[in-house]
Amino acid sequence: MRRGSVRHYTGGMSGRDSERDRFSITRRALLGGAASLIALDSRSAFASPPGFDKWREAFRARALAKGISEGTYIRVMGRIEPDMSVFAKMRDQPEFKEQTWQYINRRVSDWRIINGKIALQKNAALFARIEKDFGVERGTLLALWGVESAYGDPLVQQNHMKPVFPALAALAWNEPRRRAYWDSELINALRIVDKGWSTPEEMRGSWAGAMGHTQWMPEVWLNVGFDYDGDGRVSPFGSPADALASTARYLVNRGKYRAGEHWGYEVTGASGTGKGNRTYAAWAASGVTRADGQRFPRSGDSAQLWTPESGGPSFLLGPNFFAVRSYNPSMNYALAIVHLGDRILGGGPFRQPFPGSERALTLAEIQEVQTRLTQAGFDTGGTDGRVGNDTMQAVKNFQTKAGLDPADGYAGLTVLARLRQGS
């Protein structure tokens, strides 16, 4: 779940897409060995990067002052080494490199639409209960779940998530722009262990420390997460009930989600109509209509006009679009989520294409791309039709070798055609 304004991962993990440690130990059990363990840490056989040990000692004082038990601190931080790979991942966030249409196509994929329908069938009672309790439309939650963790696929957690404590330690120590934020999130993660809600071993997530079905940051886990399935603990792992209901509560409390309102609509006739926030009735009076030809169902609700790219589709965006955006501060992310939610619930693709765009590959075509790439020596990490980091890297490597420009990692019609030529 979202994470202030931090953008974790949104896109995929491996040929499988995502786009991504419960132990309570008592103070009494460890106090006797605390001094020796701390001393041992400074002489660890694993060489820490220069300056990290000094930072860790200063952080220890801050953590204990914030109420973290010494036992938990030693358990988690005593011999920890920072995960330095987080800095490269921070610089390579996919929503800042893909064209809008590519970004949407990759997330609103056949695989996610098909498996979103299956997830809804399997969890129909849960979604009905959440809608009743919080008013958040099931399509939005399904889309968030699908994009963040491939509907809770355990292979994503097992194969593509990493321990969050080394990642958060690296960021709290050496990320210059938001060091205080990461310091706070590391303390929040320690507090979760202190409460006995989780263990360092279970707490695996993205490079930014986001965990579970809907990718909770530690602060959100502590302050928004709650025990919706009644098992006595708050958890983003295992049963999806806590994760989905807490995500709904997040959208309501922090995103100001409004029950009964749709996120907005693709529209036509928007050219020359001006901007600002108006009721749907006022937009309709100015000649703006829904692209699907239907009427606006709640004419008194307000929305604002947005055209992401000149010549592409236009949208009227209501407050619930921005509630979704509160989960990740990217307009493209929010658009992908709300569109995927509509598609899962039976809606169609955008009527107006983005400039220069092409249709998304079908599930069978993506699997063909993955199979042909693998046969050609480019490992996609699987052939299940989910496009994630492994498939994107394989595509990029193939594009480079084949002389396709740009070598952007996008598995599209051009790549498929060239692969078929090669066979």
pLDDT in tens, 229-260: 999 899 999 999 999 999 999 999 999 999 99
Does the pLDDT of residue 23 top 60, yes or no?
no
Question: What value does the mean pLDDT take over residues 379-390?
Answer: 91
Q: Determine which helix (DSSP H) or strand (DSSP E) holds 314, and give its type and residue range.
A: strand 314-317
Name every residue whose Cβ is closer than 8 Å to that of residue 302 and which is 6 or more positions away in sequence: 277, 278, 279, 280, 318, 319
DSSP-derived secondary structure for 318-355: -HHHHHHHTTSS-HHHHHHHHHHHHHHTT----SSPPT
pLDDT band of residue 220 (cuts 50, 70, 90) is very high
Q: Say yes or no: domain 363-422 is CATH 1.20.120.
A: no
pLDDT score at 419: 97
Does the pLDDT of residue 171 top 70, yes or no?
yes
Tell me how far apart the alpha carbons of residues 132 and 140 are, in angstroms, rounded to a whole number. Answer: 15
pLDDT score at 178: 92
Tell me how far apart the alpha carbons of residues 134 and 250 are, in angstroms, rounded to a whole number. Answer: 10
pLDDT band of residue 6 (cuts 50, 70, 90) is very low
Question: What value does the mean pLDDT take over residues 279-295?
Answer: 96
Does the pLDDT of residue 20 top 70, yes or no?
no
**Residues paired with residue 289 on neighbouring β-strands, in sequence order:** 268
Question: Exposed e or buried b for every residue in 336-353, given b needs 16+ CB within 10 A?
Answer: bbbbbbbbbbebeebeee
pLDDT band of residue 97 (cuts 50, 70, 90) is low
Does the pLDDT of residue 363 top 80, yes or no?
yes
Does the pLDDT of residue 141 top 90, yes or no?
yes
pLDDT band of residue 187 (cuts 50, 70, 90) is very high
Tell me how far apart the alpha carbons of residues 340 and 334 are, in angstroms, rounded to a whole number. Answer: 10
Does the pLDDT of residue 9 top 70, yes or no?
no
Residue range(s) in the chain whose domain bears CATH number 1.10.101:
363-422
- Sheet of 302-306, strand order: 277-279, 302-306, 314-317, 264-268, 289-290
Tell me how far apart the alpha carbons of residues 205 and 185 are, in angstroms, rounded to a whole number. Answer: 13
Spatial contact of 168 and 186, defined as CB atoms under 8 Å apart = yes
Q: Which residue has the higher pLDDT, 90 or 191?
A: 191
Please give the mean pLDDT across all residues of the chain. Answer: 88
